Structure formats: C-alpha cells, structure tokens
Amino acid sequence: MLITINNLFLLGLAGGSGTILRFLIQKKLNGSFPYGTLAVNIVGCFVIGLVWGYFAKQQNMQKQILLAAGFCGGFTTFSAFTAEGLQMIMDHRLFHFFIYTAGSILIGLLITFLGFKITS
C-alpha cells in the first residue's frame, strides 16, 4: 500500500470510527465484569477474519490494511483487556480473571479462523 495523504486520512477515519464505537459499547456493557471489552474484542476478531479472508482472496492489500489496521485496530483493545485482567487479579477475582483471559484468547482465535474460512 502506498503511503499517501489520502490513505493516511482513510486509515485515521477508520481507526477513529472503530475507537468511537468501542468506547460506546464499553460504556454500555462494562460493569463488574468487562463484557463490553470482551464483546468488542470478539467481534473485532470475527471482522478481522472476514476482512483477511475476503481481501486476501482478491489480493487487495490496500483495503485489507485500511479495514484491519484501521477499523479493527481502533475497535479492539488489548490494553483495556490487560488492565481489566490486572484489576481482577488485584481484586482477588481469580476465577473471573481466568475465564476472561482464556475466553478472550480461545474464542478470539476460533472466531478469527471462522471469519477467515467464511470469506476465503
């Protein structure tokens, strides 16, 4: 992908859109358990699988990068995942921590693979 002002603008627009949507979902769903963060990360994994499979087949790396790095990069959040996990450890909520961590990683990988298989 060529680095142009137009591509950087589109990347920022996609990333900003993902970030705003993530913020709204997290504010709506997060509570004593980070359901919002879990939801956006799982949905983001599915979307990146769909994007990866679809655009890899078409060999359109520009759109793949704009959607995967832009929207999905802004929509999903590893830093919130780790901060919330650390807070669970500090609160001695180890069962919730293990469920959240294992669920995020295993479901995320499976749903990314599913999205990829659907579109490839």
Domain ranges in the chain are 7-119
- Reported as a single tens digit per residue, the pLDDT across 25-67 is 999 999 999 999 999 999 999 999 999 999 888 877 777 888 8
Cβ atoms of 100 and 84 within 8 Å: the answer is yes
Supply the pLDDT for residue 66.
81
**Based on the number of CB atoms within 10 Å of its own CB, is 94 exposed (0-12), middle (13-18) or buried (19 or more)?**
exposed
Q: How confident is the model at residue 107 (pLDDT cuts 50, 70, 90)?
A: very high
- Return the percentage of the chain with pLDDT > 90, whole number: 78
Helix-, strand-, coil-residue percentages of the chain, each rounded to 5: 85, 0, 15
Say what the pTM is.
0.89
